[in-house]
Chains A and B, each alone.
Chain A
Amino acid sequence: MEVIAKRPESLTKTPFTYCPGCLHGVAHRLIAEAIDEQGLINKMAGVAPVGCSVFAYKFFNFDMAQAAHGRAPAVATGIKRARPDMHVFAYQGDGDLAAIGTAEIVHAANRGEHISVFFVNNAIYGMTGGQMAPTTLPDMKTTTSPYGRKVDDIGYPIRVCELLATLVAPYYIERVSLLSPAEIIKAKKAVSKAIQYNKEGRGFTFIEFVSTCPTNWGFDPVKSRDWARENMLPFYKPGVFRDKGEGVE
């Protein structure tokens, strides 16, 4: 019998604990598939963040470290420097990466650290109950911006890809979205490229996934994708910000 779909070897059999409609599982699967395809499972290590994907260390089927809030790029740096023969990625959400971990991500990128960072941006703190994130959109309501994000008071959302693209060292920076099958296929190509570059020791690679949070946004999964398309994508435009392998500087 022909197998047309199966669990990637790079995922454990532990069931995901994400909410219905959450796209973390999709992002996990894309990364796992890319690692399988590159044949890296025996030399791979990942770092899980604090946030909804805190249990990522249970889901990926190779050695994993769980990092303190925001510190995943520093932990990944330590692993990579200690085990240069391994391939290392960090997986982070928006609060983890763009608020408490701003220094770590900027400096890991600036060193051109030979790691991949996968950044899931859904404009909200999910695990702690829907608080405002550094990527929360203007006027967007959250439990800590109950009257909407007031940009005069708390500032504008941070566009992380654009921010990191000001640095010289990063090798590959791309923003993709996970809102439809077509976008997911496109995202898979970006993830595969990041993992391939990682395998080849090219340098720092960074993929941002524009994602959703049906639970904390208060929409059903379908509507949350529509909302993201209408509100997130105009502000967080998908695209390649840096790809030294393709001459995109």
Chain B
Amino acid sequence: MSKILMKGNEAVAEAAIRAGCRLYFAYPITPQSELIEYMAKMMPKVNGTFLQAESEVSAINMVYGAAGAGKRVMTSSSSPGIALKMEGVSYMAGAELPAVIINVQRGGPGLGDIQPSQGDYFQATKGGGHGDYRMIVLAPSSVQEFADMAAEAFDLADKYRNPVMILADGMLGQMMEPVEFKPAKTQEEIDALGNIHNSWCICPNEDGDAKHHHEINSLEIDPSVLEKHVNELYEKYGRIERDEVRFDTYNVSDDNEILCVAWGTASRIVKSAINELTAQGKSVGLIRPITCWPFPYEAVAEAIGPKVRKVYVFELNTGQMLDDVKIAVQGKVPVTFWGKVGGIVFTPAEIKEKLEACF
């Protein structure tokens, strides 16, 4: 398969279809418009469902219904729209429904602007909806990774019966890079996927004698029953924390004097700065959480080499992942933060300047 030059928004949509997603419900918002438009164009060609909902709230509840019916389903939006979807995310976590949600983040709070931002880290990882739940959050840093995460997100959602978010941003959505797609799932594979949840989901009684009554539900009015349910969820989240932590390192070595921590778009800018500093003989490493939840606490701690004087966190916000980094570092070395907000993406030159000042 040859490489195609594609926008992140389109690449992730194509990859989702290839991963067997045949249901997509969403509401238009910048800067994810290419995603919904791609789905509008391509879903009918694969006999899939594209539905432009009346609101983000409706869209996420359509996702709830389709996920409750056991099928691979996706929605996408950008920050303010994701905020509206959070009610549905909480319900899906409570009802243990698998679904994929894409957030192409833009500047906030409020209407904010439409430029790239990482302002929704807290919203995504610390419970944007109500109640005691967790959502798996994958953060891509390239168009290729954005696309690859579609299949991974569906697999994780199916495996744990939990909503999974791909937390991208306006830059990843809008930029074009070469992307190579995995082969599309065959109709047989998709049909098989469509039935893996039949033991609990809404589905027809194939055999009239073996009648089932499946309930898609997050309501447990009896406190002791709800307590049990939440504890079971908590146990599941523990398994996810144990088995699904993903991260990437760049230039991490025992010579590092500074260890950077950055995710998504921000990590790419930091890499450029590290390259320039390496050329000057300065050793700086980078650890990039790929799963924002579960956060790679141990990996961050382990990446701190013996000569590291400072852990430097760079984000396109005012310091959100910073809290998780501090938990990981546990005060062993100083943790510093620098970020840009307002939808402004910092440049390699700016990061380089910040890092140079540490030497």
Contact = CB atoms under 8 A, between A and B. Distances in A.
A–B contact via C-beta, under 8 angstroms: yes
B54 A65 contact: no
Contacts of A132: none
A61 B213 contact: yes
Given A54-B219, A81-B66, A67 B73 contact: no
A65 B58 contact: no
Interface string B32-74: 0000000000000000010101110111011111111111010
How many B residues touch the partner, as a band?
35 or more
B211 A78 contact: no
Nearest to A100: B57
A243 B338 CA distance: 64
B100 to A, nearest CB: 14
Contacts of A77: 51, 58, 62, 65
B205 A83 contact: no
A43 B66 CA distance: 15
Contacts, number: 133
B205 to A, nearest CB: 4
B61 A42 contact: no
A74 B217 contact: no
Contacts of B23: 78, 81-82
Contact of A75 (B55, B64, B208, B211): B64
B203 to A, nearest CB: 7
Given A63-B214, A71-B58, A42 B65 contact: no
Contacts of A63: 201-203, 212-216
A62 B213 contact: yes
Given A57-B215, A61-B211, A66-B218, A74 B204 contact: no
Interface centre among B54, B61, B63, B215, by most A CB within 10 Å? B61
Given A43-B204, A45-B202, A54-B219, A65 B213 contact: no
Contacts of B211: 41-42, 61-62
Interface in A77-113: 77-83, 85-86, 103-104, 106-107
A12 interface: yes
B25 interface: yes
Contacts of B219: 54, 66
A68 interface: yes
B215 A43 contact: no
A66 B213 contact: no
B314 interface: no
B309 to A, nearest CB: 50
B170 interface: no
Contact of B63 (A64, A78, A85, A103): A78
Given A45-B202, A78-B73, 12 more contacts: A63-B213, A63-B215, A66-B95, A75-B64, A78-B25, A78-B62, A78-B63, A81-B49, A82-B66, A82-B70, A86-B69, A86-B204
